[in-house]
A and B are shown apart, each in its own frame.
Chain A
Amino acid sequence: MTELAGGLVQSVDWLAVAPPTILAVVALVVLVADLFVDEAREPLLGWASVGGMVLAGLALLPLLGGDRSTFCLTTGAHNCSYVADHFTLAIQLLVIGGALLTALLSLHNQDRLPQGEFWFLLLSSAAGAALLPASRDLATLVVALEVVSLPAFALVGLRRGDRLSSEAALKFFLSSVTATAVMLLGVSFVYAATGTLHLTALADGLTHAPAQLATLARTGAVLTLVGFAFKLAVAPFHFWVPDTYTGAPLPVAAYLSVVGKAAGFSGLILVTVVGFRPYGDVWGPALAVLAALTMSVGNLAALRQRPEQARSAVRLLAWSSIGQAGYLLVPLAAAGYVTDQRHQIGATVSYALMYAVVNLGAFGVAALVLRSNALNRIADYRGLYASRPLAALALAFFLLCLAGLPPGVIGLFAKVVVFSSAVDAGLGWLAVIMAVNVVVALYYYLRWAALLFMRPEPAAGQAAPVVRAPASLTAAIAAAAVVGVALSGAPQLVLRFASGSLL
């Protein structure tokens, strides 16, 4: 670090960093514009944000060509802080697409939320989520993770005067801050042991760490992973999820369950597979146990949800998202057991993409039903087919995808990819636990799906008049359904990640 300043100047590849940058800039523009726009024109802010997201999505196109990197060290080994490789692009596509669908879900009920703040927070959080998969050093990673979560607390608590909402926000905030503190401690330990924050250099440093620092390095690694486990709501650190999701505005819950989770997972992948690669024998088994625990806890709790309870629909989706996070962890755990980890990472990415589409779709239909049934109980979905046939068919399709049954072909094969990654790594026991969990989950997904097609209760039939669905909401559900059906016809579109090289 004794070079002259001139040698240290980095040239920035603005095209590579465009997707998160556009999101961040539009966020600021919206925040400032909110001051000058009168109330009648406030919906314009929403459309501006949607436009910004579309623009950020288009900015991915020129990057498809190949690996670009920027913010690189000009001295020594070629270590970069920002890399736009195929892994980054896949996750950024998921994040931006997910944010876009969330935006479409929230466009219609803006009268209840403060406009400018909502869009600013959503865009900032999305910018962080888009930055996360690209970051290749621990500092950027932690900063990006915080950029994802800090606006998210505010989003959860945004419904002013709603006790449940603020309680949810507080719970989320406290658990997340603890996670960050633990993670920062871990990162500092790792830095102390290796003297570097760049992930690739870190892997090298950990192998050659002095013997007396080995314990420190290991402790640091474990603490960092615990931090991630908190953020990802991996059991046993999952307790905040159901309350947070039910308390938050519905689109925000959808956003957290998809984009928040995907961003967290991409961070976890980078840290484990790239950074802590030499410790595969430690985090591999640990993640395997966590995966088994997470999916079992999530699915068993989802099984126990009673359809008559208030807010049971979102609560069920919350528990099911914990269960799905367990499946997402399986290939990651398997990555600790094999030397060539490309298939495992690809399996997680494919599964995450599938999950993002269908889960957002399910939340979309939930948002639609919420308009006529404020309680949002699963029991309210009874006979949905009679009043809204298309929405019912879409929800049934999404649920079957989540369950992994035909005609949700993409859900089935995404599960098969995950399953085979466990078998390939010799994790037979984990594969068996996953199979049992899939069967358990079948029950509650199917029960919900069957409810849609039952005859509506005679008394409740007139109580809920069918409200015309807002166009943006319809568009969001239709988009998710079209993508889901297209993927079911050509699963290779996402499953190719499982056979190709991403990192």
Chain B
Amino acid sequence: MNDTVLQYALVALLVLPLLGAIGALLPAPPGLKGRDPDQAVLRHGVSVTGAVLLLSIVLAAAFDYRHSARMQGSTDLSWIPALHIRIHLGVDGVSLPLIVLTALLTFLCALHAYFNMPEGPSPKAFVALLLLLEAGTLGTFAVLDLMLFFLAFEMVLIPMYFLIARWGGEGRDRAAFRFILYTLLGSVVMLLGLLLIGLKAGTFDMVALATDNGSKLSHSTQIIAVLAIGIGLAVKAPMWPLHSWLPDAHTAAPTTGSVLLAGVLLKMGTYGLVRIVLPIAPQGAHFFAPYLAAFAVVGILYGSLACLALGRKGNRGDLKRLIAYSSVGHMGFVLLGIATLTPTGVNGALFANIAHGLITGLLFFLVGAVKERYGSTDLDRLAGDGGAALYGTAPRLGGLLAFGAVASLGLPGLAGFWGEMLAMFGSFHPAAGLSRPAYLTYLALAAFGTLLTAAYLLGVVRRVCMGERSAEAVRLADVRGFEFAAWSPLVALTVLAGLWPAALLGLTDPAVRILLGGH
């Protein structure tokens, strides 16, 4: 009974945003015309994403938590028998939190846009693209067929491209093109890897492949496939040195674009590593794990150092860019956790994934609000010599920004702490066969990275929030009602995940153990 509910909820979750996207392009039906067409379509966006969020809550409520390792709510239909491609959907403990996170963030973005539509062409296309993006991301987390995964993975690119290119800020054309070029080339390489696995193993079904645990794939096939798939996913994640599309894209994107990019899109890369690479090609994963860990650690340090440089006075650092670079660092922890190949590390990675989605989503919302009020996110212009004194001019906004920053630096008791701690804990005892000294070195470097992270985030808080409030400064609008509505769920969840990590870890752990080959 419950499984039927899950099944229908999951299918509806994917179909609803697609129908909504088409609906957004059609003229509003009588009775729903609203004040004007723009308002009507934005409201349509809010109601559809709201319905999707409700569905995801239904999904979470109907989910059987005692068997979170099992695929639940499965739909398995034949689609292209010629290629053995099936429409196979399902949800387990790994994908459920990501689905809920996606639905939540998209809803908050739609809500934010309803009150504060970014400048650009008609909101009609904006809402349609937002819903298409949601369908693609939810699809990525819900499908269990390699080819469908690729389709969903690709489906996200086009709406994101247009969100940046059409509604973005300065330098958007270049940033958008760079975004699509990097991720497209990456995903073509990934496609080759997926095809290799599918053709060699004779099936594209992820569940069947994960059950085989790579036993039908030769060692060399696994290595080539993991290299190809890994490159595609690493571009998306992003892993240093394939990250260079990210800061530009984030800086140019509108607030909603940045939030979704950081909160959801980056997760698709790490999710793919956990869902595809670890269980389907374990030997290949084992071969590349130390390299992945090394790149991850470089990413952590590189991200923090870049942020430190951007945060310094006189460097004309952009606040949005700074948070984008901090994402590179945070995703480094996620990658490090995955690269340990231990349940501890992978659980930590998945936790950090969600935490990063919540916290960075919040931070991008906040920075968007700062930009709106000051007209700039240039730290030097914001802070001047003394500091922007946000505590004085807009105390609630300043407080939230400080909250986001300390959550991001991993203060115990908030969401950012557990994931990174577990990732490092995992690398203290990496999986059998991985060089322990190497991982201990990574651990030490990553720990140093957390110090650097704390340094730059506190520096940013000092420069933006503190400072002498000048007499002539106008009192800025503090947090408004809709902003409060959009941000408070993120704040609440950050605190909740920090205080009660077992809720999330208990969900992912059984599934992770299965994916890592234990039974």
> A residues bordering B, Cβ < 8 Å?
350, 405-407, 409, 412-413, 416-417, 419-420, 423-424, 435, 438-439, 442, 446, 450, 453-454, 491-492, 495-499
Q: Which residues of B contact A492 (CB under 8 A)?
A: 79-82
Query: Does B212 belong to the interface (CB within 8 Å)?
Result: no
Whole-angstrom CA separation of A409 from B150 in the bound complex: 11
Question: Which residue of chain B lies nearest to A435 when distances are taken between CB atoms in the complex?
Answer: B192
State whether A420 and B199 are in contact (beta carbons under 8 Å apart), knowing that A413-B83, A492-B82, A495-B83 are contacts in the complex: yes
Which residues, 176 to 198 on B, are CB-close (under 8 Å) to A? 177, 180, 184-185, 188, 192, 195
Q: Which residues of B contact A499 (CB under 8 A)?
A: 81-82
Q: In the complex the two chains form, is B195's CB within 8 Å of A420's CB?
A: yes
Closest 7 CB pairs of A and B: A495-B82, A499-B82, A406-B154, A498-B82, A492-B80, A491-B80, A406-B151
Whole-angstrom CA separation of A411 from B184 in the bound complex: 16
Q: Which residues of A contact B58 (CB under 8 A)?
A: none
Q: In the complex the two chains form, is A419's CB within 8 Å of B162's CB?
A: no
Q: Mark B270-294, 1 if CB is under 8 A from A, else 0.
A: 0000000000000000000000000
Question: Which residue of chain A lies nearest to B161 when distances are taken between CB atoms in the complex?
Answer: A450
Whole-angstrom CA separation of A336 from B344 in the bound complex: 52
Partner of B188, one of A350, A424, A439, A496: A439
A299 CB to closest chain B CB (Å) equals 14
Q: Which residues of B contact A420 (CB under 8 A)?
A: 83, 195, 199
Whole-angstrom CA separation of A420 from B204 in the bound complex: 13
Whole-angstrom CA separation of A12 from B207 in the bound complex: 55
Partner of B195, one of A405, A416, A439, A453: A416
Question: Which residue of chain B lies nearest to A409 when distances are taken between CB atoms in the complex?
Answer: B151
5 A–B pairs (Cβ distance < 8 Å), ordered by A: A405-B154, A409-B151, A417-B82, A442-B184, A496-B82
Query: Does B466 belong to the interface (CB within 8 Å)?
Result: no
B171 CB to closest chain A CB (Å) equals 15
Q: Which residues of B contact A423 (CB under 8 A)?
A: 195, 199
Q: Which residues of A contact B173 (CB under 8 A)?
A: 454
State whether A496 and B81 are in contact (beta carbons under 8 Å apart), knowing that A405-B154, A406-B154 are contacts in the complex: yes
Query: Does B455 belong to the interface (CB within 8 Å)?
Result: no
Question: Which residue of chain B lies nearest to A438 when distances are taken between CB atoms in the complex?
Answer: B188
Whole-angstrom CA separation of A413 from B82 in the bound complex: 10
Q: Mark B247-265, 1 if CB is under 8 A from A, else 0.
A: 0000000000000000000
Question: Which residue of chain A lies nearest to B151 when distances are taken between CB atoms in the complex?
Answer: A406
Binding site secondary structure of chain B? helix
Q: Which residues of A contact B165 (CB under 8 A)?
A: 453
> B residues bordering A, Cβ < 8 Å?
79-83, 85, 147, 150-151, 154-155, 158, 162, 165, 173, 177, 180, 184-185, 188, 192, 195, 199
Q: Which residues of B contact A491 (CB under 8 A)?
A: 79-80, 82
Whole-angstrom CA separation of A496 from B147 in the bound complex: 17
Q: Which residues of B contact A413 (CB under 8 A)?
A: 80, 83, 85, 147
Q: Which residues of A contact B180 (CB under 8 A)?
A: 446
Given contacts A405-B184, A453-B162, A454-B173, 14 further A-B contacts (CB under 8 A): A406-B150, A406-B154, A409-B151, A413-B83, A417-B82, A420-B83, A424-B199, A438-B188, A442-B188, A450-B177, A491-B79, A491-B82, A492-B81, A496-B82
Q: Which residues of A contact B151 (CB under 8 A)?
A: 406, 409, 412
Question: Which residue of chain A lies nearest to B196 when distances are taken between CB atoms in the complex?
Answer: A423
Question: Which residue of chain B lies nearest to A447 when distances are taken between CB atoms in the complex?
Answer: B177
Q: Which residues of B contact A405 (CB under 8 A)?
A: 154, 184
Q: Which residues of B contact A409 (CB under 8 A)?
A: 151
Q: In the complex the two chains form, is A417's CB within 8 Å of B154's CB?
A: no
Whole-angstrom CA separation of A409 from B139 in the bound complex: 15
Whole-angstrom CA separation of A439 from B154 in the bound complex: 15
Q: In the complex the two chains form, is A416's CB within 8 Å of B81's CB?
A: no
Whole-angstrom CA separation of A454 from B188 in the bound complex: 24
Q: In the complex the two chains form, is A419's CB within 8 Å of B195's CB?
A: yes
Q: Which residues of B contact A453 (CB under 8 A)?
A: 162, 165
Whole-angstrom CA separation of A273 from B147 in the bound complex: 31
Q: Which residues of B contact A435 (CB under 8 A)?
A: 188, 192
Question: Which residue of chain A lies nearest to B79 when distances are taken between CB atoms in the complex?
Answer: A492
Whole-angstrom CA separation of A412 from B195 in the bound complex: 12
Whole-angstrom CA separation of A45 from B79 in the bound complex: 43
Whole-angstrom CA separation of A446 from B182 in the bound complex: 13
B238 CB to closest chain A CB (Å) equals 20
Whole-angstrom CA separation of A438 from B195 in the bound complex: 14
Whole-angstrom CA separation of A424 from B195 in the bound complex: 12
B228 CB to closest chain A CB (Å) equals 10
Q: In the complex the two chains form, is A406's CB within 8 Å of B155's CB?
A: yes
Q: Which residues of A contact B81 (CB under 8 A)?
A: 492, 496, 499
Whole-angstrom CA separation of A122 from B177 in the bound complex: 43
Q: In the complex the two chains form, is B185's CB within 8 Å of A495's CB?
A: no
Whole-angstrom CA separation of A419 from B192 in the bound complex: 10
B225 CB to closest chain A CB (Å) equals 13
Question: Which residue of chain B lies nearest to A343 when distances are taken between CB atoms in the complex?
Answer: B82
A399 CB to closest chain B CB (Å) equals 13
Question: Which residue of chain A lies nearest to B187 when distances are taken between CB atoms in the complex?
Answer: A405
Q: Which residues of A contact B192 (CB under 8 A)?
A: 435
A31 CB to closest chain B CB (Å) equals 43
Whole-angstrom CA separation of A10 from B141 in the bound complex: 63
Partner of A407, one of B79, B158, B185, B199: B158
Question: Which residue of chain B lies nearest to A400 when distances are taken between CB atoms in the complex?
Answer: B158
Q: In the complex the two chains form, is B80's CB within 8 Å of A439's CB?
A: no
Q: In the complex the two chains form, is A446's CB within 8 Å of B82's CB?
A: no
Q: In the complex the two chains form, is A495's CB within 8 Å of B80's CB?
A: yes
B211 CB to closest chain A CB (Å) equals 23
Whole-angstrom CA separation of A498 from B79 in the bound complex: 15
Whole-angstrom CA separation of A420 from B185 in the bound complex: 20
Q: In the complex the two chains form, is A439's CB within 8 Å of B158's CB?
A: no
Q: In the complex the two chains form, is A446's CB within 8 Å of B184's CB?
A: yes
B62 CB to closest chain A CB (Å) equals 29
Q: Which residues of A contact B80 (CB under 8 A)?
A: 413, 491-492, 495
Whole-angstrom CA separation of A417 from B85 in the bound complex: 12
B154 CB to closest chain A CB (Å) equals 4
A496 CB to closest chain B CB (Å) equals 6
B121 CB to closest chain A CB (Å) equals 10
A256 CB to closest chain B CB (Å) equals 29
Whole-angstrom CA separation of A423 from B162 in the bound complex: 36
State whether A439 and B185 are in contact (beta carbons under 8 Å apart), knowing that A406-B154, A409-B151 are contacts in the complex: yes
Whole-angstrom CA separation of A19 from B199 in the bound complex: 39
Q: In the complex the two chains form, is B83's CB within 8 Å of A416's CB?
A: yes
Whole-angstrom CA separation of A424 from B198 in the bound complex: 12
B86 CB to closest chain A CB (Å) equals 11
Question: Which residue of chain B lies nearest to A497 when distances are taken between CB atoms in the complex?
Answer: B82
Q: Which residues of A contact B79 (CB under 8 A)?
A: 491-492
Whole-angstrom CA separation of A405 from B188 in the bound complex: 9
Q: In the complex the two chains form, is B185's CB within 8 Å of A417's CB?
A: no
B105 CB to closest chain A CB (Å) equals 23
Question: Which residue of chain A lies nearest to B200 when distances are taken between CB atoms in the complex?
Answer: A423
Q: In the complex the two chains form, is B188's CB within 8 Å of A407's CB?
A: no
Whole-angstrom CA separation of A499 from B188 in the bound complex: 25
Whole-angstrom CA separation of A218 from B162 in the bound complex: 57
A394 CB to closest chain B CB (Å) equals 15
Question: Which residue of chain A lies nearest to B192 when distances are taken between CB atoms in the complex?
Answer: A435
Most buried by A among B80, B154, B162, B192: B80
Q: Which residues of B contact A406 (CB under 8 A)?
A: 150-151, 154-155
Most buried by B among A405, A409, A453, A498: A405
Whole-angstrom CA separation of A11 from B173 in the bound complex: 68
Q: Which residues of A contact B177 (CB under 8 A)?
A: 450
Q: Which residues of B contact A407 (CB under 8 A)?
A: 155, 158
Whole-angstrom CA separation of A3 from B211 in the bound complex: 67
Whole-angstrom CA separation of A405 from B157 in the bound complex: 11
Whole-angstrom CA separation of A499 from B83 in the bound complex: 8
Question: Which residue of chain A lies nearest to B166 when distances are taken between CB atoms in the complex?
Answer: A453
Partner of B83, one of A417, A438, A450, A497: A417
Question: Which residue of chain B lies nearest to A396 when distances are taken between CB atoms in the complex?
Answer: B158
Q: Which residues of B contact A498 (CB under 8 A)?
A: 82-83
A454 CB to closest chain B CB (Å) equals 8
Whole-angstrom CA separation of A496 from B154 in the bound complex: 24
A458 CB to closest chain B CB (Å) equals 15
